[in-house]
Amino acid sequence: MPMTLPGTAIPYDERAGNDTFALISPIISATGGISLSQLSALTGLEGSTIQNWIKRGWAAPSTGKKYGERSVVRILLINILKSALKLEDIARLMEYVNGEVMNTEDDILHDTPLYNLLCSLIYESEQKHLMTDGELREAIKQKLPQELSPYEKNVLENVLLIMIRSALAGYYRSLAQSEFLRIDMKSRGKKMKM
């Protein structure tokens, strides 16, 4: 199970379920957006990294030095995927679903429902130990919005499969790194005692 809410530095909360963003949105709506330092604290990313992603057009810019829901959710999505995919590939993947960052009219599924859907599928794949493409695709198909066209469902199914695999790869990578650091520190401690 994820240690944090996907894309954030917030500890995982069982209430996340199908609407993970509902646990984050009060932070944004209470003040009409969040500052760069707050977004940095929320995601665990350096402010310069966030600014670079925005400068490259991968997320919506701030308004009056406040980042709204659209910006925050896009940053969270990129953050989930960045340890397994190249940033340029993430940007292209997001374009398949949502076209231009600043144009919501070309979206197959807006970023917030996409984030919630991805999080829900991450949790389900972990809880039910879904590993094969067939198992994951079936879970995705069960959760896709019914109002989408067959083409849109196909695009989302393929994108979400990549996103789930990338998110889980990043999660297991961090677990492996933590375990390595643990045994490395233990090993160094033994060498120092000798």
- pLDDT digit string, tens, across residues 104-142: 888 999 999 999 999 999 999 999 999 999 999 999 999
Dihedral over Cα of 126, 132, 136, 142: its sign: negative
Confidence of residue 163 (pLDDT cuts 50, 70, 90): very high
Mean pLDDT of 39-51: 96
Q: What is the pLDDT of residue 71?
A: 95
> What is the value of pTM for the model shown?
0.90
76, 163 in Cβ contact below 8 A? no
| Amino acid in position 171 | Y
Q: 11 pairs with which residues across the strands? A: 4
- Please, how many CA atoms are within 13 Å of residue 27, restricted to the half-sphere of its CB? 17
All structural domains of the chain with their residue ranges? 20-193
191 pLDDT higher than 70: no
